[in-house]
Amino acid sequence: MKDTVRVATADDAPALYRLLQQSYAPLAQQGIHFTITRTPFEQVREKVLRESTFVLERTHSPHAETEIVATLTVRFPWLSQDEQAPPYPFIHWFAVSERYKRQRAGSALLDHVETAFLRAQIKAPAVYLATAVGHPWLRNVYERRGYEPFRHSINALGTPLVWLRKILIADIYRDLPEARRPSRDELTTS
């Protein structure tokens, strides 16, 4: 068995669309609604072309086909339509195939993106993401990984969200002008 992380291509869009739909749809039964469940295929394909979408592929034997077992997408600040968004990369559309949950596939992919890509290559001082306030365990997972809440909002489908930030390079983050960092008021009231 071999795992490989790579950047997705447009050819991966059908498999990614299926994985995202299968991963997020069950949350609706818990009253948690993410816009990806209503996103058309063509929009997923467009995100793959415009943003940095990563996949973790697993090969079970030397001659076997590879299978995408996890994915996540990184949106850079210059693509954000949210004027209140922090000036850091945003992680979204994070999904792990049901067959591979609790096998560290998601953790391995997130580790790679945070460390090898965002910190080592991009030199991003911080990264952020959002999850549903009502998700039974995901916020705790992110907080154990070093993410801290800094904002609350409600998505387009009425689901309350908590936004979490992780500092990747403390020296750069600390040296940023105050105008580039969220204020204490933003951390507690938005």
In a domain, 112, yes or no: yes
In a domain, 190, yes or no: no
Task: Please report, for the domain that includes residue 86, its CATH number.
Answer: 3.40.630.30
| Residue 28 near residue 67 (C-beta atoms within 8 A) | no
In a domain, 20, yes or no: yes
In a domain, 66, yes or no: yes
In a domain, 95, yes or no: yes
- pLDDT, tens digit (0-9, with 9 covering 90-100), for 3-15: 999 999 999 999 9
| Residue 171 Cα to chain centre, angstroms | 24
Cα gap 93→44, rounded to integer Å: 10
In a domain, 189, yes or no: no
Range of the domain at 107: 2-183
Sequential pLDDT tens for the chain (190 residues): 899 999 999 999 999 999 999 999 888 888 888 888 889 999 999 999 999 999 999 988 777 788 999 999 999 998 877 777 888 999 999 999 999 888 899 999 999 999 999 999 999 999 999 999 988 889 999 999 999 999 999 998 989 999 999 999 999 998 887 545 555 444 444 4
Place of tokens 């995100």: 47
Which residues is 6 bridged to in the sheet? Answer: 55
pTM across the whole model: 0.88
Give the model's pLDDT for residue 180.
54
Residue 154 belongs to what H/E stretch?
Answer: strand 148-154
Residue 141 φ/ψ, nearest 5 degrees: -60, -45
How many domains does the structure of the chain reveal?
1
